[in-house]
């Protein structure tokens, strides 16, 4: 067991090699100020996470509406294309934007906590064991950091996701985010906003663990294949590597988390007096294994593209603040 001998806050200080790269990035950009550090550094990470998650999830709301309908009403639509044709024709084109408010707000909060705490926990583990040891155990560090960060982030996301699913399943349910949250609380109590927390954790934690670890290792593999020092590339080229890593990680994460995504969608539609676990038991009992994979193709396309753009936006924000884009961890 490793017992830190330094104050707890010092564990979250940016690791030496990352800090050096950040200073170099600032100097290369002609920056007059030093690279961000301390709380300011993690607030910038959080801002980047909020922007990348909110923008990308809001952009794919129409796809998510159709996917959710396929999961909620199996047999009603022949597939994604049929859903995109019939939903606007039968309910109006604006139906495809149902839940935009909860999506934008919920994923902004989730993204801020997820990316901000991921970077903080990663720095904490690196500082606890030392850089070279951290390189040897980097996959474990990525997994632990992402799992811890996502658990915190889901507490912010869950109420928004519950409201979104209600609005998508019944477009007449609420006029907007505030109205939807108010109705759920008034009719079913505050606990109803967190009815989907167990399945959302089952979906999001494995998804985020796969997303970050595959991304980190994909970026590492891309630079290894290119066989040139990372710093020999422009910042735009480095962000392009992040886009490629995001595309790969998104596809893998979508497959891993899809069954839980289907269960979450159904749980938030179930009305029961027994609470979260009763709703979960009902859904698991009534949902055949094959139904858990409905909409997988659409979700792979959506999540792969979404994750690709997320890491592209996130690393672009980092560059704007003088922080280097994603980089492989290598020994000194």
In the block, residue with structure tokens 């994460």: 253
Domain map of the chain by residue range?
A: 11-320
Res 116: pLDDT: 95
How many residues make up the chain in this entry?
A: 332
pLDDT > 90? residue 124: yes
Q: Which residue has the tokens 């904490």?
A: 124
Give tens-digit pLDDT for 320-332: 998 989 888 888 7
Q: Are 311 and 266 in contact (CB under 8 A)?
A: no
46 vs 11, higher pLDDT: 46
- The answer to which of 86-90, 192-196, 221-225, 304-308 has the lowest mean pLDDT is 192-196
The first and second tokens of residue 124, run together, are 């904490």
Question: Confidence class of residue 155 from pLDDT cuts 50, 70 and 90?
Answer: very high
Model pLDDT, residue 264: 75
How confident is residue 246, by pLDDT bands cut at 50, 70 and 90?
very high
b/e 136-145 (16+ beta carbons within 10 angstroms → b): eebeebbbbb
Query: Tokens at residue 4, please?
Result: 């830190």
pLDDT band at 10 (very low <50, low <70, confident <90, very high): low
Chain mean position to CA 327: 19
Residue matched to tokens 């999001």: 204
Query: CB neighbours of 65 closer than 8 A, spacing ≥ 6?
Result: 87, 95, 96, 97, 98, 99, 168
pLDDT at residue 3, rounded to an integer: 41
Give the integer Cα–Cα distance in Å for 18 and 22: 6
- What does the alpha-carbon distance between residue 109 and residue 302 come to, in Å, rounded to a whole number? 20
Q: Residue 132: what pLDDT?
A: 92
Q: Is the model's pLDDT at 28 over the cut of 90?
A: no
Please give the structure tokens belonging to residue 139.
Answer: 């996959």
Q: What is the largest CA-CA distance in the chain?
A: 65
Separation CA 157–CA 180 (nearest Å): 15
**H helix intervals, the chain:** 16-28, 38-59, 61-72, 80-91, 100-129, 131-136, 138-169, 177-188, 197-226, 235-267, 276-286, 296-320
Buried (b) or exposed (e) across 80-108, using 16+ Cβ within 10 A? beebbeebeeeeeeebbebbbbbbbbbbb
CA 110 to chain centre: 7
Radius of gyration of the CA atoms of the chain, in A = 21
Q: How far is CA 20 from CA 25, 33, 36, 312, in A?
A: 9, 14, 11, 22
Q: What is the pTM of this model?
A: 0.79
- Give tens-digit pLDDT for 296-318: 887 898 889 989 999 999 999 99
Q: Which CA distances in Å does 243 have to 25, 104, 275, 286, 309?
A: 19, 22, 41, 39, 7
Summarised one tens digit per residue, pLDDT across range 168-215 is 888 888 888 889 999 999 998 998 899 888 878 988 898 999 999 999
pLDDT of residue 18: 54
Instruction: Kindly state the tokens that stand for 200.
Output: 């959302």
CATH of 11-320 given 3.40.50.10540, 1.50.40.10, 2.60.40.10, 3.90.550.60:
1.50.40.10
46: helix, coil or strand? helix
Q: How far apart are CA 301 and CA 82, in angstroms?
A: 17
Q: How far apart are CA 61 and CA 255, in angstroms?
A: 19
């Amino acid at each position: 067991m490793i017992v830190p001998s330094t104050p707890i806050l010092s564990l979250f200080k940016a690791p030496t090699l990352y800090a050096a790269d950040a200073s170099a990035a600032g100097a290369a950009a002609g920056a007059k100020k030093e690279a961000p550090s301390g709380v300011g550094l993690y607030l910038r990470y959080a801002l980047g996470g909020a922007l990348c998650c909110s923008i990308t999830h809001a952009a794919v709301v129409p796809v998510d509406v159709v996917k959710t309908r396929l999961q909620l009403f199996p047999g009603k639509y022949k597939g994604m294309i049929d859903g995109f044709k019939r939903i606007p024709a039968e309910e109006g084109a604006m139906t495809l934007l149902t839940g935009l408010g909860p999506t934008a707000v919920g994923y902004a909060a989730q993204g801020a906590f997820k990316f901000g705490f991921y970077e903080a926990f990663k720095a904490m583990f690196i500082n606890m064991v030392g850089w070279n040891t951290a390189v040897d155990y980097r996959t474990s560090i990525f997994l632990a950091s992402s799992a811890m960060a996502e658990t915190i982030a889901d507490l912010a996301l869950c109420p928004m996701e519950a409201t979104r699913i209600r609005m998508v399943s019944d477009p007449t349910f609420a006029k907007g985010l505030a109205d939807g949250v108010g109705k759920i609380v008034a009719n079913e109590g505050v606990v109803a906003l967190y009815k989907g927390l167990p399945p959302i954790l089952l979906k999001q934690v494995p998804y985020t663990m796969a997303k970050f670890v595959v991304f980190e290792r994909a970026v590492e593999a891309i630079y290894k294949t290119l066989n040139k020092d990372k710093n020999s590339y422009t910042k735009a080229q480095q962000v392009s590597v992040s886009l490629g890593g995001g595309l790969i990680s998104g596809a893998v994460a979508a497959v891993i988390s899809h069954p839980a995504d289907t269960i979450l969608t159904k749980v938030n539609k179930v009305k029961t007096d027994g609470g979260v676990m009763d709703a979960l038991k009902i859904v698991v009992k009534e949902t055949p294994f094959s139904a858990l994979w409905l909409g997988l193709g659409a979700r792979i396309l959506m999540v792969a593209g979404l994750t690709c753009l997320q890491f592209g936006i996130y690393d672009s924000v980092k560059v704007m603040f003088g922080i280097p884009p994603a980089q492989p961890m290598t020994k000194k």
